[in-house]
Structure 1
Amino acid sequence: MQAVILAAGRGTRMRPLSDSRPKPMLPVADRPLLAHVADAAVDAGIDELVFVVGYEAAAVREHFGDRYRDVPVEYVEQDSADGTADAVHRAAPALEGDFVVLNGDNLCTAADVDALVERAPSVAAYEVDRPSNYGVLATDGGSVTNVVEKPSDPQTSLANAGAYAFPGRALDWLDVEASERGERELTDVLASVADAYEVTPVEFDRWLDVGRPWELLAANERRVGRLDRRLDGDVHEDATVRGDVVVEAGATVDAGSVIEGPALVREGASVGPNAYVRGTTLVGPGAEVGHGVEVKNSVLMAGASVSHLSYVGDSVLGRDVNFGAGTNVANLRHDDQPVRVRVKGESVSTGRRKFGVVVGDGAKTGINTSLNAGVTLSEGATTTPGETVTRDR
C-alpha cells in the first residue's frame, strides 16, 4: 500500500522557526519531524512514500532522496495552499489502489498506521477533553459518517486526527468544492467514502499535532525521552552523565559538566566546561553550551550557541542563534498562569506553566540580555547589551 504524506504547507503558526524551511523538517530528537512520520509508515509495511511538497520543497527532497530505508519515494508539487483534498488530488496520478494519507506534522506510531490499514476504510481518532475545540467524528452504529467542526454539542469526544486509509475509489471523489475557509478539505472526501463504505474510527494512542513552537518542544520531550543511553562522543572523565543521555560520535562533553537525561547531544556539538544540561534537552549538530550555562528542557538547533554564563529554560532556539554572555531567559509568570505566545498576531495560551522563548534562525542577543517568558525573536533579530525584552521582536 502507498502512503501520501502531506508536507507542502508553510507552517505559519510555527513562525519564525519555519521562515526558512518547511515546518515538517524541524528537528525532533535525531531526525526531522517528517522522518518520524515516514518511519511510522515504513515500519507499518507501507511500500511506497508519496510526499506532497511545496514550500521549501528542496529540503524534503534532499533529505529523503529517491528511496528512504529501501522504500521508493515520489514527490508531487502543490504550489498553492488549496487544502488537503487538493494535495491528495495532485498525488492521484501516482496512486494505484487503496492508500493511506498522513500529515507530515503529526507524530504517530507504526502501530497506529498499521491499525489504520488493518481496519480500512478508516480514519484516525484521538480522545480529547474538549471536543468542541476540534473537528469531531460523528458516528452511526460505530461507523464514521462525518466530521463536525467545533460542535457546540459534540456527539463524541473523538477528534479527527487527520490520517486516513482510503479505498482506491476515493480517487474519484477528490474534486470537492472549497470550504468556507477557501480550501478543498479531505473531510468532505471522507463524507463521500462514508456514503459508500463503513468507515472505522481508529483511536491513535500517541498522536501529537505539531503546529506551534511549544508543540515542537512537546514532540522533542516525547521522542528524546525514548532514546537509550549511548555515549559515543568524547566525554571528559570529570564530567557527570546521569540517566538516558545520548552523546553522538563527534560531540564533546567537557570537564565539570553535568548532563541529566533524557538528553541528546548531537554530532559536532559541545557542552562545557562547567555546563548543566537537564530536563529533556536537544543540543543540535554543532551547537554549543558553554561555560557556566544551564539549559533545561529546551531545543537548540544546529549551530546555536549559548557560550557563557546564561540560563535557557523551556525554549526553542533556531539555527545559528547566538546568545551573548549573561543572556537569561524567564520561563515562569509571577501569577503562575500558563505562558502566552503571540501566534499569527493573536495571544495564545501554551497551556504550559513554564515556557521560555522562541528564537528564529540567526538571531543574536547582546550581553546581559533578559528575555521575558513567551517572547519571540524573529529570524535575524538582535538585542542591545543589558536590554530587557518583554515584547516580540
Structure 2
Amino acid sequence: MKVLLLASGRSKRAKPIEDKNFLSFCGKYLIEHQIEAIQNAGFEEIILIGGAHNMERLGEVAKKHNTKLIEQEDLNEGMAGALISAKLHTQNDDIFVVSSNDIVDPEAFQLMHKAASGSADSYILAYRVHEYFPGGYLTLDGNRITGIQEKPGEGNEPSDLINLVLHIHKNSQSLFEKLENHSSENDDRYERALNELMQEKTVEAVSFEGYWQSVKFPWHALSLLDHFLSQCQTNISPEAQIAETAVIKGKVTIESGAKIFDHAVIQGPAYIGKNAIVANNALVRSSIIGQNSVVGYSTEVARSLVGHDTWFHSNYIGDSVIGDNCSFGAGAICANLRLDEKEIAESSRNKLGATLGDNIRIGVNTSLMPGVKIGSGTFIGSGITIAEDIEPQKFVYGETTLTIKDNRETLDPSARNAMMSSLKKD
C-alpha cells in the first residue's frame, strides 16, 4: 500500500502563515510529525505531493525521511489534481490518501493500518462529534457509508460521524477512472468521485474519537501548540547552559546550545529550541521557542508559538503565532484580550494575540491589537497602534505631531530634597 500525503495546498486561509506544513513544533515541522506517525503505524511507502511553492523545502523533508516526492502541476485542480498527479506512481496499488490539513493522534493511523486487512473496497476515518461541526457528515447503513452530506446544518445531521481525509482505497484504478471522468469548477471532483464509488463499492467507516485538529486558520496553530506541548517531557540537554538562579518548573525541554540566564523562569509545558536564549528576568510559559531565537530581558512569552531566529527585547507576547526571522523593538506588545472580553473575530477564542508571517520588524513601543495578522516582509514603525490586518511587504508608520513652546516652569529643589528625606527614613 502506498500513502499519498497531500501537502500541495497554498495555506490561503492560514495566512499570514506561509506554509502550515512547516510550522515547527518541538523541533520538528508539522509535516514531519505526520510522516513519522504514518511510518510508525506500519505504512512503509509514502509519496509526498507538493506544489511549486514548497517543493524545495519538501525535498529536504523527503530526503530526511526516505519518502518519494512528486509535484502537482496545476494547483487549481485541488485534491483531485493532487491524486491524479500520483497515478503513474501507484501502478494500481492500494492507496492511503492523507490530507496534511487533518492532524490526528497516531492511533488513527494504527486503526487505518488494521482496517486495511479487511474485505471492504475502501475505508474512511470517521470522527465522532458531540456537537455540530460544519463539515461532511457520513450517511450510514450499518457500518457501510452510503454518502457524505456537506454542512447539513445543526439538527439535520445524518449521523454523528464526520469525514476526515484519511481514506484507504483498494485497487486505486477504479478511483482514478472516476476522477478523470469528472469535471467541476467547485474543487469537488474527489468528493463527487467518492460518492459515485460508494454506490458501486463497499466503503466502510473506521470510527475514531481521539485527538483531531483541522488546520485551516491561523489560530489553529495555537490548538496544535497545546496538543504538542501536552506530550512534552522534561529533557534538558547537557549541552544547554542554565544559570543557577534560573527557575525551571514543570515539563520542559531545553535543547543543546540553549542558554537560560539568571532569574529567568521557564514554566512548563514548554520547549526551548537549539541555541535559543532566554535572558535575565524573562518568563516563558506554555510556549515553544524556536531555534536561535532570543527572549530578551524581562520579556514574557505566554501560550505562544515562536519560530526560528526571532528576537524579542522587553516585550509581552501572549497567545500569538510568530514566524521566522522576526524582531520586536523594546516595549512592543501583542495584546491578546478585548476590553469586553468577548471572542476575537471568528476564532472562538477570547484570548488571541497577533499572527505574524516571516521576516517582520516591529518598532519600539508599538502595540498589536488582539487578533491582528501581519504579512511577511512587513516593517512597522515605532510608537503606533495596529488594529487592522497588514498585507505582506508593507512599511507602516504613523506621524507624531509635536507642540514645542518655551518652558516657563521652574523646579523647586526643596521638593526633591523632601522626597529623598522620606526615602531615607523608610
Give the TM-score normalised by the residue count of structure 1: 0.91
Alignment partners' CA distance in 2, 1:234 and 1:274: 16
8 Å Cα contact 2:74-2:81 kept in structure 1? no
Residue in 2 aligned with 1:361? 358
Once the 2 structures are TM-superposed, how far is the Cα of residue 132 of structure 1 from its aligned partner?
5.8
Alignment partners' CA distance in 2, 1:179 and 1:130: 31
Residue in 2 aligned with 1:186? 190
Give structure 1 stretches of 5+ with no counterpart.
341-348
Q: Given the alignment, which residue of 87, 91, 99 partners 1:103?
A: 99
Alignment partners' CA distance in 2, 1:116 and 1:185: 24
Once the 2 structures are TM-superposed, how far is the Cα of residue 117 of structure 1 from its aligned partner?
2.9
Once the 2 structures are TM-superposed, how far is the Cα of residue 322 of structure 1 from its aligned partner?
0.6
Residue in 1 aligned with 2:243? 236
Letter in 1 for 2:290: G
Residue in 2 aligned with 1:329? 334
1:56-107 per-position Cα deviation (integer Å, ceiling 9, x unaligned): 2111111221x61xx5424243332212122111111111421101012321
Q: Which has the higher mean CA deviation after the structures are superposed, 164-173 or 264-273? A: 164-173
Alignment partners' CA distance in 2, 1:74 and 1:311: 41
Higher strand share: 1
Residues matched between the structures, number: 376
Once the 2 structures are TM-superposed, how far is the Cα of residue 255 of structure 1 from its aligned partner?
0.8
1:104-129 per-position Cα deviation (integer Å, ceiling 9, x unaligned): 23212332112123224211122234
Alignment partners' CA distance in 1, 2:211 and 2:175: 27
Once the 2 structures are TM-superposed, how far is the Cα of residue 176 of structure 1 from its aligned partner?
4.4
Matches within 5 A, 1:291-370: 291-307=297-313, 309-340=314-345, 349-370=346-367
Alignment partners' CA distance in 1, 2:225 and 2:189: 29
**Does residue 115 of the first structure (1) align with residue 124 of the second (2)?**
no
Residue in 2 aligned with 1:266? 273
Larger Cα-atom Rg: 2
Alignment partners' CA distance in 2, 1:195 and 1:271: 59
8 Å Cα contact 1:119-1:200 kept in structure 2? no
Residue in 2 aligned with 1:124? 125
Give structure 2 stretches of 5+ with no counterpart.
117-121, 391-426
1:302-361 per-position Cα deviation (integer Å, ceiling 9, x unaligned): 111112x21100001111111110011211112221111xxxxxxxx1111111001121
Alignment partners' CA distance in 2, 1:113 and 1:185: 25
Residue in 2 aligned with 1:202? 206
CA RMSD across the alignment: 1.7
**Does residue 49 of the first structure (1) align with residue 49 of the second (2)?**
no
Secondary structure at 2:86's aligned position in 1?
helix
8 Å Cα contact 1:131-1:156 kept in structure 2? no
Cα pair distance change 1:155/1:147, threshold 3 Å: same
**Does residue 276 of the first structure (1) align with residue 271 of the second (2)?**
no
Alignment partners' CA distance in 2, 1:176 and 1:287: 51
State, as a whole percentage, how many aligned pairs show the same letter: 28
Letter in 2 for 1:264: Y
Once the 2 structures are TM-superposed, how far is the Cα of residue 264 of structure 1 from its aligned partner?
0.5
Secondary structure at 1:163's aligned position in 2?
strand
**Does residue 79 of the first structure (1) align with residue 74 of the second (2)?**
yes
Q: Which has the higher mean CA deviation after the structures are superposed, 160-169 or 293-302? A: 160-169
Letter in 1 for 2:102: N
Q: Which has the higher mean CA deviation after the structures are superposed, 171-180 or 382-391? A: 171-180
1:129-178 per-position Cα deviation (integer Å, ceiling 9, x unaligned): 45461111111222111111111322012221111011114343332423
